[in-house]
Amino acid sequence: MPDSIRLEVTRYRPDTDSEPQRQEYDVPLRKEWTVLDGLNHVKNEVDTTLSFRWSCRMGICGSCGMNVDGEPKLTCATFLTDYAPGPVRVEPLANFPVVRDLVVDLFDFMERLPRVKPWIIRDDDVTEVDGEYLQTPEELDAYKQFSMCINCMLCYSACPVYGLDPTFIGPAAIALAERYDLDSRDHGARERLDVLIEHEGVWGCTFVGECTRVCPKHVDPAGAIQRYKLKAAKESVKAFLLPRGTR
Amino acid sequence: MTEVRTYRRPMSIWWWTKKRSYFVFVMRELSSIFVAWFVVFLLLLVRAVGRGGAAYDDFLDWAASPGIVVLNFIAMGFLLLHTVTWFNLTPQAMAVRVHGRPVPPAVVIASQYVGLVVVSAFVYWLVTR
Amino acid sequence: MSDSLVRAAHDVLIVGGGGAGLRAAIAIAETNPQLDVAVISKVYPMRSHTVSAEGGAAGVIAADDTLDEHIYDTISGSDWLGDQDAIEAFAHEAPRELLQLEHWGCPWSRQPDGHIAVRAFGGMKKMRTWFAADKTGFHMLHTLFQTSLKYNEVTRYDEVFVTRLLVDDGRVHGAVAVGLMTGKIQAVTGKAVILCTGGCGKVFPFTTNANINTGDGMSLAYRAGAPLKDMEFVQYHPTGLPFTGILITEATRAEGGWLLNKDGYRYLQDYDLGKPSPTPELRSMELGPRDRLSQAFVHEVEKGRTSDSPWGPVVHLDLRHLGEQVIDTRLPFVRELCLKYERIDPVHELIPVRPVVHYMMGGVHTDIDGATPVAGLYAAGETACVSINGANRLGSNSLPELLVFGARAGRAAAEYASAARAAPAVIEAQAADEVRRLERDVMGREPGTERISTIRDDMQATMEEAAGIYRTGPAMAKGADALAELQQRLLKAGVADTSRSFNTELTAALELANMLDIGECILRSGLEREESRGAHQRLDFPDRDDRRFLIHHLVHRNPDETPRVAPLPVTITRWPPGERIYGR
Ligand SMILES: Cc1cc2nc3c(=O)[nH]c(=O)nc-3n(C[C@H](O)[C@H](O)[C@H](O)COP(=O)(O)OP(=O)(O)OC[C@H]3O[C@@H](n4cnc5c(N)ncnc54)[C@H](O)[C@@H]3O)c2cc1C
Ligand code: SF4
Ligand code: FES
């Protein structure tokens, strides 16, 4: 195994650069080092001006997503040795505007999240908490997969629909809506549907399926979207066939 | 809102050639055109049958012309692609449950192929009986 | 947007968007919807470190459990240094808070009949730890964050880094902060401020804590005139992965995992922690408290009974006998982490582990409602010290603490803010001062020979040396001198990055300054405490000394910036100090 590997890192400083550039750094190649460890080596020892997000270094906070050799990855869970002998291209997540170096702008997603109402909506208005809402392990299983999303944005970066049309509400947000719809404690499906059948909602998706492939937490957002389409289609057929009151 | 001069990277019109999976996706989308063509072809056949023997013979002659044969071969390929890709995607689009237990994706896919074979056999029987 | 120094004015300003901060925000929105609340966080809220908590959250719910038992376990776990009135309030309110979270959608693991499931945890006599598989903190944080989106009265400032609190005449009026995206330095005022900035594990080299856990809130409070309490108590968790320091949750042992030395022997039986049994026994062996387990490891190293790894001595955690089914349903994340970061499968292999800095028992001194001695300033979560954790926190008590005291601080701050006046004009001048300090003193320094990362490495090495699992007076004194030198060196370290936008070198410099403050407080308090209690073990004073040291330590900052340690009595209600007994 060679003892170093080259990182080709995208740099962009909004105050001085008109467009992103590429800079190369050689970092030690160690068995236990992730791409993030390589970047931190650069930051600490070589070039202190390199900027990127990270925090938990254990694949759970969702901060460190970047495109590694063109694929969206959590850099804290992607090992340098898998790219040996290199070089490794490290770029900001695709499809998002670049703020600085490897940092992208998540404004769109953060602004969109509340629109799918990702919280429990109840018909009854319980304000006093006494006793839990019962939920069997099977009922929990029904939505568990969709509750695993860490908002890492890898799926948005892999989605060509989002790349072409940034108003598309996107995979993770729809998966989250599905997560609450499937929760046995929730009664908000109707309200969420109203949002998701809009133009930028589920119908934007053409089922490329890349979101599911790149998701590090096996959330299967593509599946969530297709199920939503089915639900939306059923609703519109019902709306068409049945008189208002009986719906 | 952000007040920083962020950089929006342009998306090349050739984006779909950059990754195998994107390419397969675009081909799958493209296959719909050929599905449509098969429907048209079938309708033409039905019309020819309805107009009697002479029209039917004309249709067969036309269908045997090299251009149409080549076109149908290509269409056949795309149709297979269409079938296979959609069959593979079905378990994602539909969570099938039997007695409350989720059915494994492989079973969902396999049962579609079984369905395809059954329908094909029925059609074959219908045509050759 | 105008270029004014004051970006916005709110009623309550919460610094920190982790479990404690979000719980406080919702509490305020629910108590008084008229109030205008803001949450400032240096990372997006769902990135906060609460996200990585794995094991669970304690709250009495099982039929055979009682509040008094939870209280007693917590008090004895704290080595009698916890305040008993606070612990009583905590145990009473924890179940309700956890239920509230259930109503907000937290996917708690369940029993077959649909009721909440609970698991065992270290130092707890009954099963009372609620869990969401082994991603409890992740689910709690996302549930809180998503629920908080429902309240329009909550304004969020994401990726905004607070550098200073604005205090005038003993009252807090807001904070100065750098917007990371734009680099703009502006004040945000609040009639009340709640610090919820989490822990400070990054003061040490080997920690389970995330990169953001630099104890900013403790330093902010300290500089604003609020004392820090019980800073000498730093928790080592017995089971971290070597190299990364990633935590392997205590839940592994609650499910029945064993700790083995290099001879395959369950060595804890040699340290007065009970006798080994095939199935887990509560408050015994592997389910003893963390301080005792980490100390046992050090003795094993001394006896030469640990294995060597490239990252120092290790023992092994054995989960093999639990079987794939249990591991996959109860501990899936542990398996994922081992496969990814150690390339081993715990279903078939032993997990190498060693003690790792995990949690700060000390923090900003508050009363039972989160109030600090500075009017209008509150604190909650790991950054605060109420104190329920005393000299040693029990696993799974921190997550419910965030909820109970986050909510309490929120309600108290709301009440204070309803009566308080708007910020006086003088704070503009203070804000201007801070802008000058950051622009001239920090950003403007010529990048010299000193590098921030080198000073940080030196600080971490110093702290490990001086404030490890076992400590001595001379080592702590030496460490304190070394830190003072590092303070001086930091003044010479420049920031090479001249860009305004996302200048992480600037934030690293500010975080390092905060950590140096905290390191100093840890060592000064430690020097004063001439006894061994809980996580503070001194080789030169090996016994607990209730006569002299059944007290908290408050560290105040003198006008000349040196620390001053003062005593504060511990509140005892019904449980007089006794011996800590485990496994007997
Ligand atoms: C790996 C791990 C596992 C754990 N498992 C358990 C467990 O199973 N059970 C249990 O009870 N406890 C557990 N703990 C402890 C518990 O998770 C923490 O004590 C708790 O989550 C801290 O929450 P918090 O809200 O106080 O802070 P955090 O969640 O850390 O949030 C801090 C917030 O403050 C913000 N902030 C900090 N500084 C600034 C600044 N200068 N300007 C602006 N914003 C700032 C951050 O952005 C962040 O939003 C675990 C801890 C770790 C490290
Ligand atoms: S769905 Fe998966 S890829 Fe998308 S944000 Fe969530 S965790 Fe990341
Ligand atoms: S740093 Fe948290 S997911 Fe990678």
Q: What pLDDT, on a 0 to 100 scale, did the predictor assign at position C1?
A: 36
How large a percentage of chain C has pLDDT more than 70? Answer: 99
Which site among B5, B7, B103 would you substitute to test the A interface, given the most A Cβ atoms closer than 10 Å to its Cβ? B7
Lowest mean pLDDT among B115-129, C186-200, C218-232, C541-555: B115-129
Specify the DSSP element, H or E, that contains C355.
strand C351-360
B and C: number of Cβ contacts within 8 A: 8
The answer to whether the beta carbons of residues C148 and C154 sit under 8 Å apart is yes
Closest partner residue to B89 (CB to CB) among A12, A99, A209 is: A209
Where in chain A are all domains bearing CATH 1.10.1060.10? 107-241
pLDDT single digits (tens) C485-505: 999 999 888 899 999 999 999
DSSP codes, chain A: --SEEEEEEEE--TTT-SS-EEEEEEEE--TT-BHHHHHHHIIIII-TT-------SSS-S---EEEETTEEEEGGG-BGGGGTT--EEEEPPTTS-EEETTEE--HHHHHHGGGG--S---SS---S--SPPP--HHHHHHHHGGGG-----HHHHH-HHHHH-TTS--HHHHHHHHHHHT-TT---HHHHHHHHTSTTSGGG-----HHHHH-TT---HHHHHHHHHHHHHHHHHHHHHS-GGG-
The mean pLDDT of A220-230, rounded to a whole number, is 91
B7 at C interface, C-beta within 8 A:
no
C532 lines ligand 1 (CB under 6 A): no
Question: Is there a catalytic annotation at residue C253?
Answer: yes
Cβ neighbours around A97 below 10 Å, total: 18
Asked whether the predicted pLDDT for residue C313 surpasses 50, the reply is yes
Q: Per-residue pLDDT for A128 more than 80?
A: no
Task: Find which of A40, A50, A56 to mutate to test the C interface (most C CBs within 10 Å of its CB).
Answer: A56
Domain with CATH 3.10.20.30 in chain A: 4-104
| Chain B residue numbers touching A93 (CB-CB < 8 A) | none
Average pLDDT, chain B: 87
Residues A23-52 have a mean pLDDT of 96
List the single residue in B with minimal CA-CA distance to A111. B1
Query: Is residue A127 very low, low, confident or very high in pLDDT (cuts 50, 70, 90)?
Result: low
Pick the ligand that lies closest to the CA of residue C252: 1
* B3 contacts on C by Cβ (under 8 Å): 1, 181-182
| Dist CA B78 CA B80 (whole Å) | 5
Strands C6-15 and C185-195: parallel
User: Which of the two residues, C49 and A124, has the higher pLDDT score?
Assistant: C49
Regarding the beta carbon of A52 and ligand 3, being less than 6 Å apart is answered no
CB-based burial label for C223 (10 Å; 0-12, 13-18, 19+): middle
Distance from CA of B100 to the nearest CA of C (A): 15
Measured by CA distance, the residue closest to atom 6 of ligand 2 is A149
Percent of chain C topping pLDDT 90? 93
Count, in order, helices (H) and strands (E) of chain B.
Answer: 4, 2
Query: Out of 3.30.70.1400, 1.20.1300.10, 1.10.132.20, 1.10.10.10, which CATH number does the structure's domain B17-81 have?
Result: 1.20.1300.10
pLDDT of residue B53: 86
A230 close contact with B: CB closer than 8 A? yes
**Does residue C43 or residue A230 have the better pLDDT?**
C43
**Touching partners of C (3+ C-beta pairs < 8 Å):** A, B
**Amino acid residing at C76:** S
Q: Does domain A107-241 have CATH number 1.10.1740.10?
A: no
* Vertex B27: Cα angle to B23 and B32 (nearest 5): 155
Q: State how far residue A19 is from chain B, nearest Cα, in angstroms.
A: 7
Question: Where does the pLDDT of residue B1 fall: very low under 50, low under 70, confident under 90, or very high at 90 and above?
Answer: very low
Chain C hits for B2, CB-CB cut-off 8 Å, are 181-182
Q: Tell me phi and psi for residue A240, to 5 degrees.
A: -75, -40
Lookup result for tokens 């080596």: A41
Neighbouring CB atoms inside 10 A of C277's CB total: 11
Q: Is C47 an active-site residue?
A: no
Q: Given the DSSP bridges, would you call strands A65-68 and A21-28 parallel, antiparallel or unpaired? A: unpaired
Q: Is C102 helix (H, G, I), strand (E, B) or coil?
A: helix
C322 lines ligand 1 (CB under 6 A): no
Ligand 1 center from residue C520 Cα (angstroms)? 22
What's the Rg (C-alpha) of chain A?
21
Computed over every residue of chain C, the mean pLDDT equals: 95
For chain B, first and last CA: distance in Å?
Answer: 71
Q: How far is C501 from chain B (nearest CA, A)?
A: 8
Give the mean model confidence (pLDDT) for residues A158-167.
Answer: 92
pLDDT in tens, C1-49: 345 788 899 999 999 999 999 999 999 999 999 999 999 999 999 999 9
Q: State how far the Cα of C357 lies from the Cα of C205, in Å rounded to an integer.
A: 8
The residue from C164, C171, C173, C253 that is catalytic is C253
The pLDDT value given to residue C230: 98
Average pLDDT over residues C208-215: 97
In chain B, what are the helix, strand and coil shares in percent, each to the nearest 5?
75, 5, 20
Pocket test for ligand 3, best of A35, A74, A93, A103 (most atoms within 8 A of CB): A74
Q: How many CB pairs under 8 A join A and C?
A: 158
Q: Give the whole-number percent of chain B exceeding pLDDT 70.
A: 98
- Condensed to tens digits (0 to 9), the pLDDT of residues C239-248 reads 999 999 999 9
| Overall fold of domain A4-104 | Ubiquitin-like (UB roll) (3.10.20)
A246 pLDDT more than 90: no
Q: Which amino acid is at C556?
A: H
Inform me whether the pLDDT recorded for C288 exceeds 90: yes
CA distance C218 to C363: 6
Backbone angles phi, psi at C44, to 5 degrees: -55, 140
Of the candidates C237, C365, C471, C552, the residue annotated as catalytic is C237
Give percent above pLDDT 90 in chain B: 32
Predicted TM-score of the model (pTM): 0.94
Nearest CA to ligand 2 atom 2: A215
pLDDT level of residue C253 (50, 70, 90 thresholds): very high
pLDDT of residue B102: 78
In angstroms, rounded to a whole number, what is the distance separating the alpha carbons of residues C133 and C136? 7
- Summarize pLDDT for C84-133 with one digit per residue, the tens: 999 999 999 999 999 999 999 999 999 999 999 999 999 999 999 999 99
Residue span(s) of chain B under CATH 1.20.1300.10 come to: 17-81
